[in-house]
Amino acid sequence: MNIVVGVTGGIAAYKTVQLVRLLIKAGHEVTVIPTEDALRFVGLPTWEAISRNTVTTSVHDDVARVRHVALGQAADLVIVAPATANTIARMTAGLADDLLGTTLLATTAPVAIAPAMHTEMWRHPSTQANIEILRERGVHILGPGDGELTGGDSGPGRMLEPEELFDEALALLAPQDLAGRTVAVSAGGTREPIDPVRFLGNRSSGRQGVALAAEAAARGARVILVAANISGDVLAAAKHPQIDVRLVGTAAELGDAMRDAAASAAVVVMAAAVADYRPARASDQKLTKEEGVLDRIDLVENDDIVAGLAASRPDGQVIVAFAAETLTDPAARRERAARKRERKGVDLLAVNRADAEHGFENADNAVEVIGDRGVVVASAAGSKPEVARAIWDAVVNLSQ
């Protein structure tokens, strides 16, 4: 995608360097348009080096290619970070005496701004009135956050962190191809109690499932996220008005919650790592070595939740399962995945390589999505949000 990053004259400009890096790393074409004032904070060579594109502030450069409107016309998204009180006022008035001003007037792409200023300036009626006008015009206002400001002050006015801006930017670029649909996603790992202090569990962090929920919401879906033992940090990425989080602990609880969620869902994604077995009896007293009862735990098999959902699914519902496999040979991994897909009766099975660098507990993941007759319908390697995008693309393709 073509992304224009406008940078205006605030100290937070140094954080925008990281935003540009993240966008480039995710494969986007980025053009940085600073204001003259912004260059006092971060110099032109930095923006050129980091964006790998020519950078200018002026409407008088590259006139042959009508740069003053061409950049805005070609943009898929314009994000201004930081957006100072002055810039916000200028945008409201439609001033266009520099390249950023003309670009903002020439674009029909979504525009987002990340305000950054002192609390008093943010709260001033002029700024608030300008923000309201921009919001009414459809400009996305990202933040500001509440926290430490330059000079030791603290309060609302702090620019959002580059990682947050990156996520928001990608959400704005998301196609609305799941709008009007409800999807049910399970995430995390179940814990099967042995006694009040011990459990049988697994290493799933829930990151991939949470990324799937967040991506579905960004694409317009209403999401029911059934979350098994996910830390608050990880779950924070699922904070979205369209995501309804339901917390569960055991496989039995996850099964109940998913059957309930699946009843109204067009798509079911079982990303949770479900324990295949549970202790036959969970003791309500802590077991001790002294009693000699800890050397053996009798297990009973849990129901296969996703197979059950697939067997009784409503017409047209798409079901996606996951499998973490340690097999290193790709062909063998695919073959096993294809058999698992058949056995579970699901439409798609996303296999991920579970090793030291990928899968459980890691920020990155690599998956292949296996469809009908064992065909690989999609593959993706990268961050868990990137993998989530590829999986939803495959789901959308399937239902077209």
Cβ at position 328, least distance to ligand CTP in Å: 16
The tokens for 392 are: 């939803």
Binding of ligand CTP by 274 (CB under 6 A): yes
Cβ at position 277, least distance to ligand CTP in Å: 9
State how far Cα 349 lies from the chain centre.
Answer: 21
248 versus 251: smaller Cβ distance to ligand CTP: 251
Measured from the Cβ of residue 126, the count of other Cβ atoms closer than 10 Å reads 12
Among 19, 109, 159, 272, binds ligand CTP (CB under 6 A): 272
33 versus 210: smaller Cβ distance to ligand CTP: 210
Q: Helix or strand or coil: residue 272?
A: coil
130, 202, 229, 365: which one is catalytic? 202
Residues 366 and 232: their CA atoms lie apart, in Å, by 24
Please indicate whether residue 2 is annotated as part of the active site: no
32 versus 228: smaller Cβ distance to ligand CTP: 228
The tokens for 303 are: 């129901």
7 versus 388: smaller Cβ distance to ligand CTP: 388
Residues 387 and 369: their CA atoms lie apart, in Å, by 10
The tokens for 46 are: 């930095």
- The DSSP bridge partners found for residue 88 are none
Cβ at position 400, least distance to ligand CTP in Å: 23
Cβ at position 165, least distance to ligand CTP in Å: 33
Cβ at position 159, least distance to ligand CTP in Å: 39
Residues 282 and 238: their CA atoms lie apart, in Å, by 32
Per the document, the length of the chain is 400
CB contact set of 50 (below 8 Å; sequence gap of 6+): 17, 20, 21, 24, 32
The tokens for 241 are: 């008005």
Cβ at position 391, least distance to ligand CTP in Å: 12
Residues 378 and 395: their CA atoms lie apart, in Å, by 10
Instruction: Fill in the per-residue mask, 53 to 92: x = in contact with ligand CTP (CB under 6 A), - = not in contact.
Output: ----------------------------------------
Q: Report the DSSP pairing between strands 376-383 and 364-370.
A: antiparallel
Q: Report the DSSP pairing between strands 154-158 and 198-200.
A: unpaired
Residues 261 and 186: their CA atoms lie apart, in Å, by 10
Number of residues that bind ligand CTP (CB under 6 A): 12
Residues 209 and 248: their CA atoms lie apart, in Å, by 14
Report cis status (omega within 30 of 0) of the bond before 196: no
Per-residue b/e over 270-294, b at no fewer than 16 CB within 10 Å?
bbbbbbeebbeeeeeeebeeeeeee
Instruction: Fill in the per-residue mask, 320 to 359: x = in contact with ligand CTP (CB under 6 A), - = not in contact.
Output: -xxx------------------------------------
Cβ at position 341, least distance to ligand CTP in Å: 9
For the segment 2-21, give every residue that binds ligand CTP (CB under 6 A): none
For the segment 250-269, give every residue that binds ligand CTP (CB under 6 A): 251
37 versus 325: smaller Cβ distance to ligand CTP: 325
217 versus 349: smaller Cβ distance to ligand CTP: 349
Instruction: Fill in the per-residue mask, 284 to 323: x = in contact with ligand CTP (CB under 6 A), - = not in contact.
Output: ------------------x-xxx--------------xxx
184 versus 323: smaller Cβ distance to ligand CTP: 323
Among 253, 276, 335, 386, binds ligand CTP (CB under 6 A): 276
Binding of ligand CTP by 270 (CB under 6 A): yes
Report the interface residues with ligand CTP, using CB under 6 A: 251, 270, 272, 274, 276, 302, 304-306, 321-323
| Catalytic residue set | 202
